[in-house]
């Protein structure tokens, strides 16, 4: 079997309303799918992390840089291909967009392998530790409105997500430390005592501001405080973890085993959040997962994007060993964006129907059992939303 073509599909549509987080506001939803074709008619699908113009730039890397390197290669040689591409791109970036682009290609190769074997990816990895996974819903995005309007909306939206059946919810912050504390208090009121909620800062604070918010969070008892400081600030992460009782999480913007080695040896995380569509694909994710577990750091995958990303993560969550194990082990969760996302809800011939599953199954979602990723994108849908050839 040989690789005959690698195609990037960048999709986009205008959202019903503007959304924001601590770094920017945005009005368009994008997704970057990768299709790998073979001479035996088997096609694999993957996804690259990166929105907007980043996706368009990554399309060029996938098709103009990576594709010529791997045409004619056996798609089942996933690890060989990974190292071939990484080594040739090393001089041009060991992190960032080249690795995001490699991630989508690698996921597609795993999809092909599963289809060749007639097995879901979790079986190729080593088996099923769980047939369903708990799911949390995030929302409560920032908008161009007053603090008081944010407070009222966040309380209502948090309660609505809880009532949808999700086992936990996650909010955004980024208005400034004092106002952000008010938002967190509103979410705690909205969901009530005992219901887990998480706080995502998207690395907007200095260490001192993160301590200010974190100390207030200790009273509100969130499950974790996500990306409180810049990802480069390893010392800040370590200081926060030592100085706060709330769990510190992060890592969604770290790449490959070498970057993750630094984070884990630094002991700055209570919970690791690798992003498989960015860090190097499934091949490298499995190495990162092994590093996390070698440091006894629980993993809850960062999930953002289309149904391809969601399906990929469901396969990985099925195969993730419990840590540390026991009769009642700590269990991972699937992250689910509750905002408008056609590329997740309408992309597939047979939708995953995450929200319906959550409502009907006490907050849990079933792991797909079909070959490879267990999904098949609708090509007519892709053509309708594709923005560049």
The catalytic residues are 302
Which spans in the chain are helix H? 52-60, 67-70, 78-89, 97-117, 121-125, 147-163, 177-191, 207-220, 234-243, 256-266, 276-279, 281-294, 307-319, 342-345, 354-360, 379-385
Instruction: Report yes or no: 342 and 305 within 8 Å, Cβ to Cβ.
Output: no
Q: Residue 20 and residue 174: Cα distance in Å, rounded?
A: 9
Which one, of 378, 371, 296, 375, lies nearest residue 342 by Cα? 378
Burial grade of 52 (CB within 10 A; 0-12, 13-18, 19 or more): middle
Distances (CA, A) of 214 to 168, 236, 287: 19, 13, 31
> For the chain, percent helix, then strand, then coil, each to nearest 5?
45, 20, 35
3-state secondary structure of 210: helix
């Amino acid at each position: 079997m040989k690789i005959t073509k690698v195609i990037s599909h960048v999709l986009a549509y205008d959202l019903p309303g503007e959304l924001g987080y601590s770094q920017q506001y945005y009005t368009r939803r994008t997704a970057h799918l990768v299709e790998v074709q073979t001479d035996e008619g088997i096609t694999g699908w993957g996804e690259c992390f990166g929105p907007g113009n980043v996706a368009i730039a990554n399309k060029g890397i996938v098709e103009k840089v990576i594709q010529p390197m791997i045409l004619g290669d056996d798609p089942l040689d996933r690890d060989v291909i990974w190292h071939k591409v990484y080594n040739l791109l090393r001089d041009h970036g060991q992190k960032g967009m080249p690795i995001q682009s490699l991630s989508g290609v690698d996921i597609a190769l795993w999809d092909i392998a599963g289809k060749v074997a007639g097995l879901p990816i979790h079986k190729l990895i080593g088996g099923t530790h769980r047939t369903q996974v708990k799911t949390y819903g995030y929302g409560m995005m920032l908008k161009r409105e007053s603090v008081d309007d944010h407070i009222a909306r966040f309380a209502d939206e948090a309660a609505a997500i809880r009532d949808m059946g999700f086992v936990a919810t996650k909010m955004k912050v980024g208005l400034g430390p004092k106002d952000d504390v008010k938002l967190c208090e509103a979410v705690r009121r909205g969901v009530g005592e005992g219901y887990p909620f998480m706080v995502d800062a998207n690395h907007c604070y200095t260490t001192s501001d993160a301590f200010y918010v974190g100390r207030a969070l200790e009273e509100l008892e969130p499950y974790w405080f996500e990306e409180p400081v810049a990802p480069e600030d390893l010392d800040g992460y370590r200081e926060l973890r030592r100085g706060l009782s709330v769990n510190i999480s992060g890592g969604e913007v770290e790449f490959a085993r070498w970057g993750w080695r630094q984070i884990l040896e630094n002991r700055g995380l209570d919970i690791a959040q690798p992003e498989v569509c960015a860090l190097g694909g499934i091949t490298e994710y499995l190495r990162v997962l092994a590093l996390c577990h070698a440091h006894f750091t629980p993993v809850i995958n960062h999930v953002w994007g289309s149904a391809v990303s969601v399906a990929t993560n469901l396969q990985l969550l099925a195969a993730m060993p419990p840590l540390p194990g026991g009769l009642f082990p700590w269990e991972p969760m699937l992250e689910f964006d509750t905002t408008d996302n056609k590329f997740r809800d309408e992309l597939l011939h047979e939708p995953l129907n995450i929200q319906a599953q959550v409502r009907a199954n006490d907050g849990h979602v079933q792991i797909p059992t079909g070959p490879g990723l267990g999904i098949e994108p609708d090509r007519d849908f892709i053509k309708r939303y594709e923005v560049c050839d």
